[in-house]
Amino acid sequence: MSKYAHRIENAVTLRGSISIVELSELLGVSDQTIRRVVKPMVDEGKVRKVHGAIVSLDKPVDAPFHTRMQINRAEKTAIATLVASQIADGESLAIDTGSTSGYIAQALQIRRNLMIVTNSTFIASTLSTVPGNRVFMAGSQLRDHDGAAFDRQAFAAVERMHVNRCILSASRIEAKRGFIAFEQCEADMAEAMQQISNATIMAVDHSKFSTTSMPDSLFSVPLREGGLVATDRQPGPEFAPMLRPFRVLTP
């Protein structure tokens, strides 16, 4: 396998799908080179080609947490600063385990006297040492790739709380299907956190907005009407109908 084919396969595995243009920018080669490298990969059944993009044949998964923390750092920092500006001292929050949520937790270290419930060990440890904060870690059995809990105790802990807002993330956003999670437990946790919250903030960077469709095995994350969608740049016009029930906020 060529070095380009190996990098393409890794990118598709981590992201689920990636456009020809994005691959060209990532590898620093022309679109024609990408198409030439991808053709035998398609013939060998390693990936699937759709209009303008390459799609994984496997069920997509999120990359390990610390890997995702290194991707789109400037964009996630901008979103985190934006979200933190909406939060006041003394608020109560439920925060999920996305990498953008991790950046938001770091930005929230300037706030005081927060009450936090989270199923993320990274977020719990980030905010628990801030003076005046009360942090509740939901769950006991942790996933090996991101230190997040989705066991029965995690859901029970969340369901016992009531908070001002929840801060959520998504693995992907499609114009027709909306916000998407790669795992059922992630979609279920997003719903549980919305149930205990007065308001919802969905924090997603621009790379999560995709114009290509993924397999139907993914899981929808319905967002409460009137929720805030915080992103680093204005989504394309094709997402306007899907985003109409929400307030989109950019830096």
Q: What is the pLDDT of residues 118-151, one digit of tens each?
A: 999 999 999 999 999 999 999 999 988 789 999 9
The predicted pLDDT at position 45 comes to: 85
CATH code at position 159: 3.40.50.1360
Number of domains in the chain: 2
Query: How high is the pLDDT of residue 58?
Result: 63
What pLDDT score does 81 carry?
95
How high is the pLDDT of residue 5?
A: 87
Identify whether residues 32 and 80 lie together within a single domain: no
Q: Are residues 210 and 89 in the same domain?
A: yes
Write the CATH number for 11.
1.10.10.10
pLDDT at 50 over 80: no
**169 and 79 assigned to the same domain:** yes
Confidence tier at 215 by pLDDT (50, 70, 90):
low
35/150 same-domain check: no
What's the Cα-to-Cα distance from 57 to each of 3, 8, 82, 100, rounded to whole Å? 20, 13, 36, 26
Q: How far apart are CA 117 and CA 114, in angstroms?
A: 10
Same domain as 159, residue 223:
yes
Domain identity same for 28 and 152? no
Kindly report the pTM of this predicted structure: 0.76
Residues 118 and 207 in one domain: yes
Single-letter amino acid, residue 14: L
Q: What is the pLDDT of residues 146-183, one digit of tens each?
A: 899 999 999 999 999 999 999 999 989 999 999 999 88
Q: Which domain holds residue 34?
A: 3-56
Is there a single domain that holds both residue 128 and residue 169? yes
- Give the closest residue to 163 by CA, choosing from 184, 140, 135: 135
Bridge-based pairing state of the strands 172-174 and 178-181? antiparallel
* 46 and 91 within one domain: no
Q: Read off the tokens for 47.
A: 């990936």
pLDDT at position 15 is 66
